[in-house]
Structures are given as structure tokens and as C-alpha cells.
Amino acid sequence: MDMSGKTILITGSTDGVGRRVAERLAEMGAKVLVHGRNPARAEEVVSGIRDKGGNAAIHLADFSALDEVRALADAVERDHERLDVLINNAGIGTSGGGGRQESRDGHELRFAVNYLAGFLLTRRLLPLLKASAPARIVNVSSVGQQAIDFSDVMLTRGYSGVRAYCQSKLAQIIFTFDLAEELAGAGVTVNCLHPATYMDTTMVRQAGVAPLSSVDQGADAILNLAVGSALEGRTGLYYDGLRPSRAIAQAYDPTARQNLRTLSQSLTRLA
């Protein structure tokens, strides 16, 4: 597939499946915006892409700090004339390092990094995506989902890393469905997916789990939603790998959608 002239931002693309997606999109001719926290790792990815004749740029931001997410959005708007695809892939896994952790803004860490950062980045980049239409947003979620307890979203009671991770991934899915409805007719589609089960990534190995899938399997699934011709104009979908699927029940609850939207706008100061 020829992606010449397209600009694509992949968050969390200095390692794992995000890196593989960035490399493959660059091979297709896209201008790839590589995001990560570590300058050396970002430079390694971008140098590798350029050595093969690809076009890539580095954008650094720590997603545990919402001010850095805002700065990332500002930099993308400043440095690039268009944005054809946004792939929200950055995240942290279930291993908690000894218990509940908080972001720099005081939010439960997995909810902040896996969900709130992507929510804010997407909202801030919507004008550029709309101006580049037809455009796509892909949220890399998980089959691991747990209903959100809106009386204790920050998990001050009964915390576990697995619960925190699964709640944050469901939040991504709810946001996907909500935004897809909002953007109907705007030329911007929004879909989400579970890319593959236990890919051979740092996140999976840190959780002490034996990998069951390759990063290329996960990349195939992400690229299907990001640039696949079969998904052109289709929106508000959840995929399990390459197959359409359904999330857990709360993902389709209008009250949960409204509650999450209101909370997210407040926490990111977009209200």
C-alpha cells in the first residue's frame, strides 16, 4: 500500500508493537511521527527508518504528565501541516511495581497513561485531523476489560494492577464509541482493537507472562484499522485482532459514556 503524502502519529512507538507499526508505515511511504519518553530510543527508531529511506520525526512526551501531552499536541500542530492517522498506542501494563501509583497530576497511573493522555491528545489534535479528512483515529485497547466504578475511578479501594489496567482499557473503548458518534459526518473515523494476545513485548515480559503472539501479528491488526481499505469510512468499531468483536456491556451504556466524558473533560481541564 502506498502511503506517500500521509502523516501518521503513533504514540508509544519506540518499542514493541508501536515500533513495528511505525517501521511498516514508513516502508509504505508515510511520514511517521515517532513518540516516546526516551530520546535515545526514539533516535534509534528514527535513524533506522531513515537509513532505509523512510521519513520520520521524533516527538517526546511523558504521558504521566498532562502538560507534556499538551506540549506534544502543540508541537505536532506547529511542525506538521496535516495528520492523516492518529494511533493511540502508548501504555503501561499490569505490573504495578509494588502497589498503587499516581501520575504527576495525582491520578491513578494506569488510568492517566493508558486513557487520559490519549483522550487529551486526541481532543487537542481533532482540528488538524478534521482539516486532513478523510482521517482515522485508532485506539489500541485490550480484550482485558473491567467495568469502571465511577464512585472510585482512581481505585483508592481494592487496588490491583490488573484491575487498573483493565479499567483503563475499557475507558479507551467507551471513548472510541462516544467520539465516533460525535464525529459522524466529519470525515474522521474512530475505531479500537485488541491487537493480539500476549505479544512478545517488554510490557508482557515485565508482567511475567510467556508471549503467545508476535508483534507483527499485533501490527497487522493495528494497520488493518489504521490504513486498511476495508475500514474506509467505517467507525465506532471494536476489533479482536482482525475480526470485528464486542466489548463488555458497560462499553455500550449511555450513562457510563456520559459519566466518563464529564470526568475526562474535568480531569484534563477541557470542560
Residues with a known catalytic role: 165
d(C-alpha 242, C-alpha 76), whole Å: 30
Q: What is the DSSP letter of 86?
A: E
Task: Please state, in angstroms and as integers, the Cα–Cα distance from residue 78 to each residue in 74, 75, 125, following that order.
Answer: 6, 5, 11
d(C-alpha 137, C-alpha 24), whole Å: 18
Of 161, 262, 253, 169, nearest to 207 (Cα)? 161
d(C-alpha 246, C-alpha 91), whole Å: 22
d(C-alpha 240, C-alpha 271), whole Å: 32
In the numeric block, the cell 500476549 is attached to: 198
